[in-house]
């Protein structure tokens, strides 16, 4: 069973405006991550725009990624859906294809209660047999996991870890300490906010679920390894080197920035699914300038 630790790099899912996956482009992105030897690939996360793709499109993207990774890197795939039975079918697809784990968010239209979320996760984990990582992303799901609920879910067989955001810098250490105390031994607590992830790793988080890691795997892997080694100074130095990109994230959002970044790096020409529009004009120029400003060893 997969150990959710280290750097999990999340690529975009290059596709046309109808959601048809650009197979050659996705292969290039996955091959780049596998060559960098990231610890896992986070396919069809929010950066992979899973919510905009059909079951068939998601299944095809997973097949392509698994074929390109060829077992060298485990793949954690998004299986979030509004209905429990739909999430279960996606989990079954992922298990049958050979994914290492599923990333499950409590996607909702009607706000969910804690017990509803617990039963949702318990059902998918138990009935599918696919190992799961909890995706705590209240900005999109409008549901916030409490440490107590994460602790309760950590006791469900097959739920291996959580991908969660981070509080302000001066609260990160206490946040991840509290989560670590709430969960079962061996349960992985990981951070999903790129700007805060190095501090979270130094504070005891086991994994960094990285947006920018999907396009700059070597840079983010170097930061991860420095933090895992407890090298605070080197972690801070490398993280500061990516500040031009972090500023773009703040100004233009991470999703839009990484689409522009993939194009500027020559990895693929893709646009986010409508109604999301690609960055143009001065916003795209900001990303180009940020890329140019990165130290040479981090621009890869």
Based on the number of CB atoms within 10 Å of its own CB, is 52 exposed (0-12), middle (13-18) or buried (19 or more)?
middle
Contact 287, 48 (CB under 8 A): no
Res 259: pLDDT:
98
Q: Is 49 annotated as a binding residue?
A: no
The tens place of each residue's pLDDT in the chain, 300 residues long, gives 789 999 999 999 999 878 899 999 999 999 999 999 999 999 999 999 999 999 999 999 999 999 999 899 999 999 999 999 999 999 999 999 999 999 999 999 999 999 999 999 999 999 999 999 999 999 999 999 999 999 999 999 999 999 999 888 888 888 998 999 999 999 999 999 999 999 999 999 999 999 999 999 999 999 999 999 999 999 999 999 999 999 999 999 999 999 999 999 999 999 999 999 999 999 999 999 999 999 988 887
Q: 164-168: which pairs have CB atoms within 8 A and are 24 or more residues apart? A: 164/134, 164/136, 164/189, 164/190, 164/191, 164/192, 165/136, 165/137, 165/138, 165/139, 165/191, 165/192, 165/193, 165/196, 166/191, 166/193, 166/196, 166/197, 166/199, 166/200
Q: Is residue 163 annotated as part of the catalytic site, yes or no?
A: yes
Res 169: pLDDT:
81
Q: Domain 6-229 class?
A: alpha beta
In the block, tokens 């068939």 appear at: 56
Catalytically annotated residue among 50, 95, 109, 163: 163
Catalytically annotated residue among 50, 135, 209, 259: 135
Alpha-carbon 287 to chain mean position: 21
Per domain, the residue ranges of the chain are 6-229
Res 1: pLDDT:
79
Backbone angles phi, psi at 164, to 5 degrees: -135, 165
Q: Is residue 135 annotated as part of the catalytic site, yes or no?
A: yes
């Amino acid at each position: 069973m997969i150990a959710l630790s280290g750097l999990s790099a999340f690529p975009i899912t290059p596709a046309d405006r109808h959601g048809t996956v650009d197979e050659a482009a996705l292969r290039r992105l996955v091959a780049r991550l596998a060559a960098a030897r990231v610890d896992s690939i986070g396919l069809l996360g929010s950066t992979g725009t899973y919510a905009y793709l059909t079951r068939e499109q998601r299944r095809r993207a997973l097949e392509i990624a698994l074929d390109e990774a060829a077992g060298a890197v485990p793949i954690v795939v998004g299986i979030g859906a509004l209905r429990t039975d739909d999430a279960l079918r996606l989990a079954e697809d992922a298990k049958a294809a050979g994914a290492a784990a599923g990333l499950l968010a409590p996607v909702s239209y009607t706000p969910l209660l804690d017990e509803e979320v617990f039963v949702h996760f318990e059902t998918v984990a138990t009935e599918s047999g696919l190992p799961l990582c909890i995706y705590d992303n209240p900005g999109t799901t409008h549901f916030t996991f409490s440490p107590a609920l994460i602790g309760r879910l950590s006791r469900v067989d097959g739920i291996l870890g959580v991908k969660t955001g981070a509080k302000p810098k001066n609260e990160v250490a206490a946040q991840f300490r509290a989560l670590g105390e709430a969960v079962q031994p061996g349960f992985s607590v990981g951070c999903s906010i790129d700007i805060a992830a190095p501090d979270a790793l130094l504070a005891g988080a086991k994994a960094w679920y990285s947006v920018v890691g999907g396009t700059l795997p070597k840079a983010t892997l170097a930061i991860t390894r420095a933090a895992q080694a407890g090298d605070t100074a080197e972690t801070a130095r490398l993280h500061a080197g990516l500040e031009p990109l972090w500023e773009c994230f703040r100004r233009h959002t991470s999703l839009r920035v990484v689409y522009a970044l993939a194009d500027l790096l020559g990895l693929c020409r893709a646009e986010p699914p409508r109604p999301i529009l690609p960055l143009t004009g001065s916003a795209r120029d900001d990303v180009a300038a940020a890329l140019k400003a990165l130290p040479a060893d981090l621009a890869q």
